[in-house]
Every structure is written in structure tokens, then in C-alpha cells.
Structure 1
């Protein structure tokens, strides 16, 4: 019987077996968790850290487990970013922390949630500590794929591959653990395409379900180039607005913290060095806004991709379950209106748009180009 701490790792029996064996004694000082978005890389790393610190291997009820789950365990540090990259300063702070002895726990554990976002300088700063860590120090790195982490680091880590959990497994988790209605859980699980966090968000938030329904209705409503331009503008504006809503609160809190740290009043002279610190904070906040807006657009593109997949499956008579069964009428309409070749072209356009955004293309222009290709 596995420890309760592993219950959130849906459909990851092999991973749980490997990590449980490590907790029992088959330990390595550096690990690299990889898997597709939503597979639970960070959850697995946190669960592993919790189990390592717990005297009972992850009971979830002792003080160590409770503080680990709350993110307040003094010997578990999480390094992440809301921006586009993790810089060398954050990496050096992590290295300094990694040299400390555990204060209350059994290990000093550092979790790098987005190891693929480490800059080359940051990765080089971590390398020596990962290669020869201090006694009792454990590094847990997370990335979408092994290849996303530079060779010198990944070669020193033990790989742990997580797989995309099945829709039925996610639906059971939502229904049994979160008390969500079975039908809502099933639809959310199918729509999430294996992303547990997204499934939970869709199941709990009617507004998220409404936004998704509007996104899936876009392809059916395109009749001309004007519709394409308006749809692209809407996606871009809504993504920017959502990023702004989230970032304004964070920006205000961070600015207040910076002023307090530097002893800055609303009026009066600024201490030497404050201007540079403010500039650095402003640039990081701008990068965060850009990333959040881009991530919001990418979520829209994934929904559109799943819709076009369902259309293509219907056109080919593939006999597979649709991802978006709740919009079956629109899928049937599109399948009858267009050809399989046209649908493949639309899928290619979505993939090209995602690649363009990753290369820092202007979002609205990339979206306009994609939408225009939806017309054939």
C-alpha cells in the first residue's frame, strides 16, 4: 500500500514505485522530472520532497507534511519564475541555500520547477552544486523533456518520466477527491487533454467553461477575412486583459515590498541604488506580463487544436472518442462544410502560430495569419 502523499499522482504507478524505493533508501542526490504539460511534474517533485522529509514516508498529516504541502517547510525551497527565464541571480541564491544544513528536516531540498527556463549562465551556476552537492542536499528539477535541459546538468540527474494521465483517471480524481459532479468531471477531464490542473479549473469554474465554449465556437463563425481579424484581436485582447488582471496585484505587492526594503517614502530622496533595483523589478514584471499573456493565448490555441482534431476524426470516420463531445453539433457542421485536407491545413496553421509565438512574434499578427488560413 502506497503512502497517502502519492495519491495526487494520477496514472503514474511506475513513478510512484521509483520514488517510494528512493524514500526507502535507494536515493540519488539529483533528479530530473519530465513529462508533458499537466502530467504533474511539479506535483511529483513536491510529493517526493514531502515524503523524503516525513519520518513515515509521506503520511500527509504530520507537521512536516503539512508545512511541505503549504509551501512553508524551511528545508524545501521552490525556484520558479513568472517571467520568460530563470536568471543567474536566482540560481546563485539557490546554490547558497543548497550549502546550508537542514534546519528541521532530514534533507535540504531544492525544487527547480522550470529547469527548461534556466539561462545558460544560470545553468552553469547550478552545475557544480548539482554535480557535487553538500551532504543532505537534494536537487529536484522539472522540465517538459530531457532535451530541454542542458547536457551537463541532465547527465548528472536521475530521470523520472511522467506520462499523460487518462481522462477516466482524471475524472475519477475530480469526482472522488474533489466531490465534483461525475458528468462535469468527465467533460472537464476529456477537454483538459490530460492536464490535471486545467481539468480541475474547468470543473470548478463556470466562467472558465464559458470562455472555452466561446473559443470552440470561433471556427464555425468565420465567414470572411474580417471575421478572422476580429477573432484574432479578441483572443489577443482577452489574453492581455487576463494577464493584466493577475499581474497588477502582484506588481503592486512587489513594489510595496521593494519600497519597504529600501526605506523609500512616497516623497523625498531615493537611496543610492534604488533606481537600479526599481528598473530591474519593472523589467521582470514586464517579462511576467508577456509570459502570462502568451500562456493564455497558448491555452486558446490548444483548445482550437483539439476542436480541429475532432473535426478531422469525424471527416475520416476514425471512430475515436471526441475531446469536445459537448460541441458535437459544431464539430459535425465543420466536418460537413470542409474537407480533411482543409482541416489538416488548419491544424498546421495552429502549430505554426504556436511556434511563431515561442519565437516572440507579435501575437495579434500571428493570430491573424492563423485565422486567415482557417478560411482555406
Structure 2
């Protein structure tokens, strides 16, 4: 957590959300729970971290910023704040034993992962004004874990605040969602992201512009494109895969080959971590495709086919995300036509929702390609 900012002024974009959160701190009218939503890499964890810093700060400014000097702020900047807790999924789910003691715990689980809420919530904060719990992927809460949170979120101690992060409000169980104040985070303007990469990180302007464009409004992705060569290569490889989908003959065999290519690309190790703008989410460290990486790969496929649809409808080339790939996009637009391109986008989005809902990664990739290559 040390790499994440503690000041709202360090966050790129999200002016509307930041005004709301600053006003919350300045007025002292803090809700028990907040639900921050947005795409992967848009900055949910960054905003939550800055908000947590301000919530815990002993002497926040009149503008609602953390002071950066009190004991709470200093501990958070060192990455060792004992009263701001980050709860991430364990093996793709957030489980009840992570929240409370007295449940069966896997042998390989570490002590700090077990019973985080149960062992801390009944003790008033010693270093800051509040105890904050950040759920990095609230959509992965199991039914048992979510149900165990209901009463605590509804009637917590006055010093406890819960920050739940998820892609969409609907991804979080309704009984939890209804108890939270919603803070949506929308895509950031391409020009804002490009300027931030150039001025704050010294990225070469043409690379910054391309990374910002490909990020589709997500600073964390833009930072990956600008600083990790494998991330840009991955996006280019996914464009190759999309073109193959557009030009391959129909049939099961080609579909399975393309599904294997998709899984291979979804196993490339890239990180969305960004110290000023994007989400700090773990990257895959194994050769197996991860759920998060497959979702990002599907986003790239969506972007490519959206560009092809844009051109099939007569759109200007300046409106495409995949700048430089216009010749292949034109060929795909001509070969597939508007109706097939629309069906392709609907199919990818349907399978993306299935993967978000915990569908098997291998099966989902194969079903996706078989549907895309069906007559």
C-alpha cells in the first residue's frame, strides 16, 4: 500500500467523485459504508486509499485532504498502518474466515489474512480517527461472507468505515449494496491521462498518447502500456487474435485453436498497479490464465471489434482506439458487416459477464470462440 497516494490531489481524473469525498471529510458526515465502482484500472483502489487516508487523518484540511504529517498519515505513507485494512480475494473469492475467527481456515493462509474484522473492529483506533476496511473486489464475497457483514455494516462502531470496490453496483449482493453510499468512477478523458503520463512520469508523448487511447479511460491500464513493453505487445497480439476471428473459417477446430491462443495471451504477466492513478491489483504469476487477465483480454477484443463496427458504420478513423490498424479494421468491417459485428460484440460481452460470475476460464474461452466462429 505504500506506493498508493494518500492525497486526493494525487489522483488523476474523477473530479466529481473527489468533490463528494472531500465534502464528506470536511463536513464530518461520514457514512458507514461506501461502494466505489468502475472498470479495472480506472482507479478504484487509488481513490479508496486516498479516502481512507483522509478518514483516518487526525488533522484533515478544511478542503477534506489528509494532512500528511500526523501519526496516522506517516504510518500510511510507510505502508504500516494497523488500522487501515485491505481485504483481497483468496483464490478468487472473499471468504467468511477472512472476516471472522471461528471458521475453517486453509493451512496455507497467513495469519494477517484471517479474521481481519473480528479481531480489530471492537478496538477503538489508537493512531487515527477511524478504522477503515477496504474490500478490493467486493463482487467476490461469498454468500456466507456477505451475510455475515450485513449487521456490521448496518450498525458498526462509530469509528469504523467500510469501502467496497467492484466493477458495477449490480455485481455486489443487493443486501450489501443497499447499505452503501454509491461512488461511481467513470472513464478519465484520454487527454487528461496522456498529460498525466507525460508531466508526472516523463513518458514520451507519442507513447503516452497511444497508451492513453488504448486504456479507454483507465489510468492504470495506460500506465501499464507506457511502462511495461509486454502490456503493449499483449494488446497488439489481441488485435491479431481479433483479426483472426474476423477472417478464420467457421468450425470447431479453428475455434479451439483460437481459444488456446486467447488463454495463452491471458497468462502473460502484466500489472495494473499504478502509484498515482490506477488500481493496485495482483497480476498473474503463473502460466495458467487468470480470470482478471481474461477479462482484460475480452476488453481488448471488444475495443477492436467496436472499432471495426465504427468503420462499418462510416465512422472517421480518428474515432478508433486501435490507431494504426485501420487497414485490417476496414477489411474486417467489409467481411463481417454491421449485423455480424454487433452479434460479435454481444457475444463477447455475454461471455465476459459469465467470467465475472465465476465461469470456468477454459470453458468460457472455448465457448466464446465457438460462438464467434459459428455460421
Deviation at 1:184, TM superposition (A): 1.0
Match of 1:269 in 2: none
Tell me whether 1:330 sits opposite 2:341 in the alignment. no
Conserved? CA contact 1:189–1:196, under 8 Å:
yes
Cα offsets for 1:316-363 (capped at 9, x unmatched):
013461111132232123223331122122212322332443455554
SS at match of 2:305: helix
From the CA coordinates, give the structure whose radius of gyration is larger.
Answer: 1
SS at match of 1:33: strand
SS at match of 1:24: helix
Tell me whether 1:47 sits opposite 2:55 in the alignment. no
Range with bigger deviation, 318-327 or 355-364:
355-364
Distance 1:195 1:33, change over 3 A: same
Match of 1:223 in 2: 248
**RMSD of aligned alpha carbons:** 2.9
Match of 2:282 in 1: none
Cα offsets for 1:89-114 (capped at 9, x unmatched):
11222143122111211212211222
1:17 to 16, 19, 28: 19
Tell me whether 1:67 sits opposite 2:75 in the alignment. yes
Match of 2:346 in 1: 348
TM-score, normalised with respect to structure 2: 0.79
Conserved? CA contact 1:53–1:107, under 8 Å:
yes
Match of 1:310 in 2: 307
Match of 2:105 in 1: none
2:166 to 126, 130, 143: 143
Conserved? CA contact 2:8–2:18, under 8 Å:
yes
* Structure 2 spans left out of the alignment, 5+ residues: 101-114, 271-284
Conserved? CA contact 1:87–1:119, under 8 Å:
yes
Conserved? CA contact 2:92–2:140, under 8 Å:
yes
Report the structure, 1 or 2, having the larger helix content.
1
Range with bigger deviation, 103-112 or 331-340:
331-340
Distance in 1 between the 2:324 and 2:118 partners?
Answer: 49
Match of 1:176 in 2: 199
Conserved? CA contact 1:33–1:45, under 8 Å:
no
Q: Paired residues, what number?
A: 332
Tell me whether 1:235 sits opposite 2:258 in the alignment. no
Conserved? CA contact 1:131–1:156, under 8 Å:
yes
Match of 2:112 in 1: none
Deviation at 1:88, TM superposition (A): 0.9
Distance 1:330 1:229, change over 3 A: same
Distance 1:353 1:70, change over 3 A: farther
Match of 1:97 in 2: 120
Deviation at 1:366, TM superposition (A): 3.5
Conserved? CA contact 1:50–1:69, under 8 Å:
no
Distance in 2 between the 1:206 and 1:158 partners?
Answer: 38
TM-score, normalised with respect to structure 1: 0.79
Distance in 2 between the 1:13 and 1:329 partners?
Answer: 37
SS at match of 2:319: coil
- Counterparts of residues 354-373 of structure 1 (less than 5 Å): 354-358=352-356, 360-373=358-371
* Structure 1 spans left out of the alignment, 5+ residues: 244-287
Distance in 2 between the 1:91 and 1:356 partners?
Answer: 26
Conserved? CA contact 2:187–2:217, under 8 Å:
yes
